[in-house]
Amino acid sequence: MAGAASTVLSTEALVAGYERDLPIVRGVDFRVASGELVLILGPNGAGKSTFVKAIAGLVPVHSGKASLGGADITDVPAHEKIRHGLAFVPQTENIFATLSIHDNLLLAADILPKEKRSERIAALYAMFPDLAGRPSRRAGALSGGQRQMLAVARALIVEPSVLILDEPSAGLSPKIVSEVFARLKEINAKGVTIVLVEQNVKAALAIADRAVILVEGKVAHEGTAAGLADDPLVGELYLGARRHATVAP
Ligand SMILES: Nc1ncnc2c1ncn2[C@@H]1O[C@H](COP(=O)(O)OP(=O)(O)OP(=O)(O)O)[C@@H](O)[C@H]1O
């Protein structure tokens, strides 16, 4: 794993929330090395989505800092973050359902110089054969997993250095979740750093390098994915491992 010198994304004492007097993220220090796949875990309402949305410029940052590749991106507007190499795939409304697969990709490619667009779309089709097989299909008619892959393909079109995904497994069956996660692992192996907010803890830990656990807007615990997967205390306290345990009469 890469060392601290190759940190690509970081936050320092980040405080963020929807209203000025109500911080949801309450002073988070976070560091991701180039090439890592890092999970953000934690109970419902812990502030996981709010944290990544604040990095993406979609939730106001009250104080602290977010940096990407050494540049301060705290106040960079959401639509310009992509020019700095940060792509964000929100949980919902991440594709244009009424447009075709191809038009979804064309729209995402709009930010690129004209002469590069078809080359990048071809590269994406090579990476996602499922999409390549039916470019004129309406995106809204795709399965949940295929939609998620289209959203990821759209985000990758500009070759971001960091891809942040907010619960890409939401609403998908376990089989499709494994397919989506396997594809994310492949993308990560090609050099894209990935930050993944997930509720699907077990499957996500299986593909991750490291995980950070947020509780009430703060980092409660962090460690290697392998270490956290085997840590019963973490499972019990934060991941709900015993939520459904049988209680003796
Ligand atoms: N648009 C919003 N406006 C105001 N408060 C919000 C908004 N979205 C979320 N919140 C609040 O922020 C807190 C953290 O929510 P957030 O969605 O970040 O948590 P989470 O850890 O991602 O939870 P989950 O795992 O359930 O998705 C919650 O108390 C929630 O009610």
Which residues have CB under 8 Å from 236's CB, separation 6+? 242
For range 152-158, the mean pLDDT? 93
Cα dihedral 137, 86, 191, 183 sign: negative
| Cα(87)–Cα(214) distance, integer angstroms | 22
For range 29-55, the mean pLDDT? 95
pLDDT of residue 151: 94
Model confidence pLDDT, tens digit, residues 29-38? 999 999 999 9
The pTM assigned to this predicted structure is: 0.90
Model confidence pLDDT, tens digit, residues 79-117? 899 888 999 999 887 899 999 999 999 999 998 999 999
Q: Are 67 and 230 in contact (CB under 8 A)?
A: no
| Cα(165)–Cα(195) distance, integer angstroms | 6
Nearest CA to ligand 1 atom 27: 44
The domain segmentation of the chain, as residue ranges, is 1-85+160-243, 91-159
Under the banding of pLDDT at 50, 70 and 90, the label for residue 243 is: very low
Closest atom of ligand 1 relative to the 50 alpha carbon: 18
pLDDT of residue 233: 67
Ligand 1: residues with CB < 6 A are 18, 24, 42, 44-50, 199
Nearest CA to ligand 1 atom 5: 18
Ligand 1 centroid – CA 47 distance (Å): 6
Q: Classify domain 1-85+160-243 by CATH number.
A: 3.40.50.300
Ligand 1 centroid – CA 100 distance (Å): 32
